[in-house]
Structure 1
Amino acid sequence: MESNSSPPLETLTVIDLELDPRVEARHSYRSKDIDEYARIMSEGDELPPISVFEIDSKLVVVDGWHRVKAAIQADLLMITGKVYRGFSLEEAITFAAQSNDEHGLRRSRSDKEKAVTIVLCNEKLQKKSDHDVARICKVSHPFVSKIRKRLIAKGMIAKNDVVISSNGKVMKSRDLWSIHKNNTNQTLPIGNVQFSGTILDDDQKFKVKEYFESNSSDDRFANHVFNIRLKTSRRIKKMIEKSKADINKNSAILREVKEKIAKDKRELKDLESDSKDDERYIHGQEIFKDIFLDKKIGIPFNLP
């Protein structure tokens, strides 16, 4: 569905609108917000138009549930909206998951979880990768992964062995991590599996096919986790070695600084000692002059 395709405004009958939970992207509705919307509508002021998708001859509300509930509460017969015709349920769900992020009441974390849930609970949309679902719902990729695992654990959705990328390519959800070194934007089929963005030679094709035939998805995932941990441990080891080298280097610099300070202290002490010797020498000369010039001693100095 094109984001710039906006149908004209229509006046819709409230009782003809369908509030389908499959496209409900809000977790809950606050009564005070509905009351405020109802008051605004009762006073004759207009709110932004709602968005409706015509699916199976039904007018399904995908954006504007607060406004529809407020119109019902205010006993209004008509409401202004935009009707999108010729689109599928999946496109309606995608529209609903995106809409509340762009306008209206600010989404809570529960609202974001609900948006991701309605996408993943759709049989077709759940085959999309976590990255694509995150892009649709305007959330992070780890956020989607966490909710997908939760829904699988509850038995609400099935665990997919394949995912559909944003360009429509079908790929293994637990793809081999070692074959994506040369990204050439090409796709090669291997049995019923396609690897996107990698060119494989015949030997690699055989190894990949043999790998998927001889290992279950759980084993492949376990191997994947093991390799991630191994790479992480190697990376941490390198960081520790670098830190030790930096510490040794800084220790050597610190020793040099300490030695220089000690040397400077010794030179300062020698200068102070020399200064005291000079003072004693000068004081002795002054006493000698006073004696011979008869300034302090009152005895006449008789010369022969």
Structure 2
Amino acid sequence: MPQAPSPQADASAPALAQAMILAAGRGQRMRPLTDHTPKPLLMVRGQPLLAWHLAAMASAGIDCVLINTGWLGEQIPARLGSHFVPANAGHPGAPQPAPAAVQLRYSREDLDFGGGIETAGGIARALPQLQKVFWLIAGDVYAPQFRFDPQARARFAASDALAHLWLVPNPPHHRRGDFLLERGLARPLPEPANASDAQPGPPHCRHYTYSTIALLKQALFAPPWCELPRGNPEGQAAALGPLLQRAARAGRVSASLYHGDWTDVGTPQRLAALNQPPA
């Protein structure tokens, strides 16, 4: 039975990751494209989805990123290797100084447990390899303008929030949204009284969708919010949503609106739309 990953205990040990990209899912709605390719490696505008995130992280000075793998998990380290070098590094016109290469680490749920163990399960598994405050993003969203702002991280680290979420206007396929935004806090949605209440109403409504981009503290993955043991040695599957809702009910989840381009690349149709040439 797999054991918990060993935490780094001395200066010679590998650096703890500043960010985690969730890349273990099966991508059922994206079939048949994901029958042979993990969704985060699907091409969007000339490069894999994962590369968009890694380039943005490199530009923000993040130098160590952990990626969890599940479905067809061997393909991701085979494609990306141990370091990611931004495509424009060293090219004329590239930012000076050019972003440094990003060290890549992997949490191989496919090898340890035979497949993905859902979002919270995967994060709990990876905790010994992550900093106490870390960025999180799903590998199957497209948000090329998002900035992994070090100042946002510092503000969050100094707060009593357990999570800070970036919310987006509700897309057509998720009209109800996930959270209310109230005075800088994410609040759980009220239960709909009837089917018509499931629609958010006018565009100014305060119901928003969780973009999958967040800053998290490891304390979110400990009681009373989470019962999974640190390192999740048994590979228990658990979703992140219930943890966030629990913490939001206690007023421990802050949030901001993100107004940049954002797509949940969840179906072949959405992928095709992203790859359409500009009109």
TM-score tier (shorter): under 0.3
Q: TM-score, normalised by structure 2?
A: 0.23
Q: TM-score, normalised by structure 1?
A: 0.22
Considering only CA atoms, is the larger Rg found in Structure 1 or Structure 2? 1
Q: Larger % of helix: which?
A: 1
Give the structure, 1 or 2, with the largest relative contact order (CA under 8 Å, sep 6 or more).
2
